[in-house]
A and B are shown apart, each in its own frame.
Chain A
């Protein structure tokens, strides 16, 4: 009988004791800057920490709190962030991709207009025009870009091309298709592919290569319909390209996708330039000798960019501290601390180029070249808002099953109208 009382009492006591250490945690402090991102992986975390240290150095007495939450390619972070924003408890600054991904935040009044900060810091003089255009929503700017990644790239191993007797990577998707036939006949996969978002990534590069930058931009601005003949022809090319990928055995991750290229069972992969960090850092391949990269077919001279940027939330607890953070994000020092570690290039055109080696120096040269045509990425939230992008995901997931470009085009066009 006493067993029952003993059990109940001990359960309660153990519970209380265990929960005591909760009180030692402590909540928010006064002098802190809480920055919310999804940068927790190798490279990106080091970059953020470098900036954090610099921030604390410049602002003694302030603690930089790195509230990064990763997973699902930012999907977890977006969900948690949404719950905080809806509860009116924003962090002091949060990460978004520059471009239309911010549209919802802007419309809901969750972020503050930073145009005056831009004027004060003369950022309009150092960011390229293409970037500034994509950052501007209804005439105002709401985020400060830290880095630039490029999406329209094709990666390969020179040794594999040599062994197959291919001289050079294809310059157009038509050329790719003919090369692919040869590669397939030799028993290798022409193009490696991964999960759904990489398939969307491939879609945008094919559209860019087939339509050209002007029509690409018009398509996503709604000035050209998805059902127009040019676009449907491009979708047909995409369908053909997909047939030469290992879609049926798609890799689970973009890294596993690249592994197939590294192993030699696949020849090419279309992926953004975070690949360079992976190939050099983890796979220990050297730029140009071990691996090489070119603009994806049909997009030479076009820079399909995406940019990680930070915002000033409305109702942030320490707006002045946030402003200091944003100034650091847009400054040369800040960008040069972050980017070499992350494996991306600075958004500023006046940052010191000599610290960027290997692939990054080529990327930087391209970014700064006034002749380069800059367009925004679809997959990474520049030219499409969240709702539109999510609907495209659904439509693309179905397209991969039914392989009907016309049906895909009709669906996406209808969704475009609904999501503006």
Chain B
């Protein structure tokens, strides 16, 4: 886990009481956020017969890994598929969003003011409303159904990238708007074209935005159920479908469902930890030469 660097120079004379209060609030909030996680963890390790709604706070009478061993075989291929899906989806849609955001904030092309709201509106589209036309289009194009060698995963990747574009564009565009134009102008004067400005200038400056964008897109594609279920089949379905099958049947084995959910949430947690360092620093300070 990345550890926070100590605060900057400059005297912070917060009173010790202030610091205590701050830590107290942070810990209280942590308790609130961890409370359901406690239930999740504790239930995963219980014996199936001990699981019941009135006893959710009780610690397991004996630690049992049976839930995990029952659940892992059902989830393993789903893990592979989900990783093959979510990693590219988050990286590529973030990159594209960065490009869009950069252009929309810094480059004035005709009607740029209308284009951004039009893209933005895309984040409000409810997936239930488009699931039918998407499935029909994907089938027509051959990215869904029996013939597709990736089992529908490639089409699913495209879907996540496309529907992720509005939100990543929003994140990056608003990040770039807050940055001064001076850098871009000086690069222009040195002859850098749009694309080079983007790669050399915009991308390094957008690290915190990359962090939030990748976190969002990874989580959203990792936890997506509907598009995944619609596009893929048994061999190619993402881990969410497998988990849902454990937890959604007529007689839910709650211990297994919780164990499965715990396992499924680990990769996303890993991403959050990995990207944590991007929250650490601010702008590329060396570049801010006025």
Shortest C-beta distance, A142 to chain B (Å), equals 24
Contact between A11 and B95, CB atoms less than 8 A apart:
yes
Query: Is A286 engaged at the interface, CB distance under 8 Å to the other chain?
Result: no
Contact between A21 and B245, CB atoms less than 8 A apart:
no
Contact between B153 and A25, CB atoms less than 8 A apart:
yes
Contact between B249 and A89, CB atoms less than 8 A apart:
no
Question: Which residues of chain B are near A38, meaning CB under 8 Å?
Answer: 249
**Can you list the 4 inter-chain pairs with the closest CB atoms, starting with the nearest?**
A41-B249, A28-B146, A71-B248, A40-B245
Residue of A nearest to B52 (CB): A259
- Docked Cα-Cα span, A101 to B214, in Å, equals 43
Question: Which residues of chain B are near A1, meaning CB under 8 Å?
Answer: 200, 204
CB contacts between A and B, total, < 8 Å: 173
- Docked Cα-Cα span, A252 to B91, in Å, equals 39
Question: Which residues of chain B are near A86, meaning CB under 8 Å?
Answer: 132, 135-136
- Docked Cα-Cα span, A15 to B92, in Å, equals 7
Contact between B229 and A25, CB atoms less than 8 A apart:
no
Residue of B nearest to A1 (CB): B200
- Docked Cα-Cα span, A38 to B131, in Å, equals 19
Contact between A40 and B151, CB atoms less than 8 A apart:
no
Contact between B230 and A282, CB atoms less than 8 A apart:
no
Binding site for B on A (CB under 8 A): 1, 3-5, 7-8, 11-12, 14-16, 18-23, 25-28, 34, 38-45, 65-73, 76, 79-80, 82-84, 86-89, 251-253, 255-256, 259, 263, 274, 277-278, 282-284, 317
**Residues A255 and B249 in contact in the complex (CB < 8 Å), given A4-B203, A76-B229:** no
Contact between A15 and B251, CB atoms less than 8 A apart:
no
Shortest C-beta distance, A165 to chain B (Å), equals 26
Question: Which residues of chain B are near A42, meaning CB under 8 Å?
Answer: 249, 251, 253
- Docked Cα-Cα span, A3 to B284, in Å, equals 11
Question: Interface code B122-151, partner A: CB below 8 Å = 1, 0 otherwise?
Answer: 000000000110011011000011111111
Question: Which residues of chain B are near A80, meaning CB under 8 Å?
Answer: 229-230
Shortest C-beta distance, B141 to chain A (Å), equals 11
Shortest C-beta distance, A314 to chain B (Å), equals 16
Shortest C-beta distance, A95 to chain B (Å), equals 13
Question: Which residues of chain A are near B251, meaning CB under 8 Å?
Answer: 41-43, 255, 274, 277-278, 282
Contact between A7 and B136, CB atoms less than 8 A apart:
no
Contact between A284 and B135, CB atoms less than 8 A apart:
no
Contact between B95 and A28, CB atoms less than 8 A apart:
no
Contact between A87 and B144, CB atoms less than 8 A apart:
yes
Question: Which residues of chain B are near A256, meaning CB under 8 Å?
Answer: 52-53
Shortest C-beta distance, A151 to chain B (Å), equals 13
The majority secondary structure among interface residues of chain B is helix
Which of A43, A69, A317 makes the CB contact (< 8 A) with B241? A69
Contact between A40 and B246, CB atoms less than 8 A apart:
yes
Question: Which residues of chain B are near A34, meaning CB under 8 Å?
Answer: 233
Selecting from B17-25, B37-45, B76-84, B162-170, the interface stretch reads: B76-84
**Residues A7 and B229 in contact in the complex (CB < 8 Å), given A21-B84, A27-B151, A67-B234:** no
A-B contact pairs, 11 of them (CB 8 A): A4-B200, A4-B202, A11-B92, A15-B88, A20-B84, A28-B145, A40-B245, A41-B248, A79-B131, A84-B135, A89-B144
Question: Which residues of chain A are near B53, meaning CB under 8 Å?
Answer: 251-252, 256, 259
- Docked Cα-Cα span, A16 to B87, in Å, equals 9
Residue of A nearest to B93 (CB): A15
Residue of A nearest to B205 (CB): A4
Query: Is B220 engaged at the interface, CB distance under 8 Å to the other chain?
Result: no
Question: Which residues of chain A are near B81, meaning CB under 8 Å?
Answer: 22, 25
- Docked Cα-Cα span, A253 to B136, in Å, equals 35
- Docked Cα-Cα span, A26 to B233, in Å, equals 10
Question: Which residues of chain A are near B157, meaning CB under 8 Å?
Answer: 19, 22
Contact between A27 and B248, CB atoms less than 8 A apart:
no
Contact between B204 and A4, CB atoms less than 8 A apart:
yes
Contact between A89 and B248, CB atoms less than 8 A apart:
no
Question: Which residues of chain A are near B233, meaning CB under 8 Å?
Answer: 27-28, 34, 65, 67
- Docked Cα-Cα span, A3 to B80, in Å, equals 30
Residue of A nearest to B192 (CB): A1
Residue of B nearest to A40 (CB): B245
Query: Is B235 engaged at the interface, CB distance under 8 Å to the other chain?
Result: yes
- Docked Cα-Cα span, A73 to B248, in Å, equals 8
**Residues A41 and B252 in contact in the complex (CB < 8 Å), given A7-B203, A84-B135:** yes
Contact between B204 and A7, CB atoms less than 8 A apart:
yes
Question: Interface code B223-242, partner A: CB below 8 Å = 1, 0 otherwise?
Answer: 00110011001111000010
Shortest C-beta distance, A373 to chain B (Å), equals 26
- Docked Cα-Cα span, A14 to B244, in Å, equals 28
Question: Which residues of chain B are near A14, meaning CB under 8 Å?
Answer: 87, 91
Question: Which residues of chain B are near A3, meaning CB under 8 Å?
Answer: 203-204
Question: Interface code B68-106, partner A: CB below 8 Å = 1, 0 otherwise?
Answer: 000000000000110111011001101100000000000
Contact between B229 and A69, CB atoms less than 8 A apart:
yes
Contact between A27 and B146, CB atoms less than 8 A apart:
yes
Contact between B150 and A88, CB atoms less than 8 A apart:
no
Contact between B84 and A18, CB atoms less than 8 A apart:
yes
Contact between B244 and A71, CB atoms less than 8 A apart:
yes
Shortest C-beta distance, B87 to chain A (Å), equals 4
- Docked Cα-Cα span, A23 to B151, in Å, equals 8
